[in-house]
Structure 1
Amino acid sequence: MDVGLLLLSAAVLIGAVVLTATSGDRRIARLDRRLARVEQKLDAIAAGVGVELPEPELGHVKALLAEGKKIQAVRAYREATGADLKEAAQAIDQLGT
């Protein structure tokens, strides 16, 4: 009887953890969508009032890439632009070609 109760408790606990993780993933996805909409609106407002952001200086990034230091170039690109890892890696690949 005690083993059955223990197994049932473990199953309930595992179920609760799975539901919490799934709920958190959905919340993050919803926040990502909201952030993307806010960024689009901000871009539209900036364009409407004629505000242009200067392109980030990538001389240091290009120098690292020329030295064959791709990982450091990706890191420097992320710091200069605020891009995520995937975007930075793609940009470095394009700069390298």
Structure 2
Amino acid sequence: MDPIDIISVFTLPLLAFLLIEAATAARRQRDTVARLARLDRKMQLLLTHLGIVDPEQELAEVREHLRNGRTIHAVRAYRKATGEGLLEAKQAVDRMAGQP
């Protein structure tokens, strides 16, 4: 048997296996993304039903103040969004300011 034929015998099934695995991985990733989206919708419905405000949405104003260099306004907005005290809000805003 020619060496090229031997390589072909092993290469073609390996290539087919890799293509099938890549397609399967892509499908699993799409399924996972869809499941996460459904879970997120359910979580949002629960939060809304219970009257709980998602702090991440409320903290967008805090991040905007930080981007504009208005730390005091950011602390004020953080306190309003979370109900935290002044010290806790200042520490949280300082931690947020240190993040990219």
Query: TM-score, normalising length from structure 2?
Result: 0.57
In structure 2, the partner of 1:7 is: 8
1:28-47 alignment, distance < 5 Å: 28-47=29-48
Superposed CA RMSD in Å reads 2.1
In structure 1, the partner of 2:67 is: 61
How far off is 1:60 after superposition?
A: 2.6
Which consecutive unaligned segments of at least 5 residues does structure 2 have? Answer: 70-95
Q: Which has the higher helix share?
A: 2
Which consecutive unaligned segments of at least 5 residues does structure 1 have? Answer: 64-75, 81-97
Judge which range, 43-52 or 10-19, deviates more.
10-19
Question: Which whole-Å deviations, capped at 9, do the CAs of 1:21-68 have from their partners, x for residues lacking one?
Answer: 1100000000100000000000000000100123122123345xxxxx
- Establish whether residue 51 from structure 1 lines up as the match of residue 52 from structure 2: yes
Query: TM-score, normalising length from structure 1?
Result: 0.59
Moved over 2 A (4+): 59-63
Structure number, greater radius of gyration: 2
How far off is 1:14 after superposition?
A: 1.1
Percent of paired sites with the same residue: 20
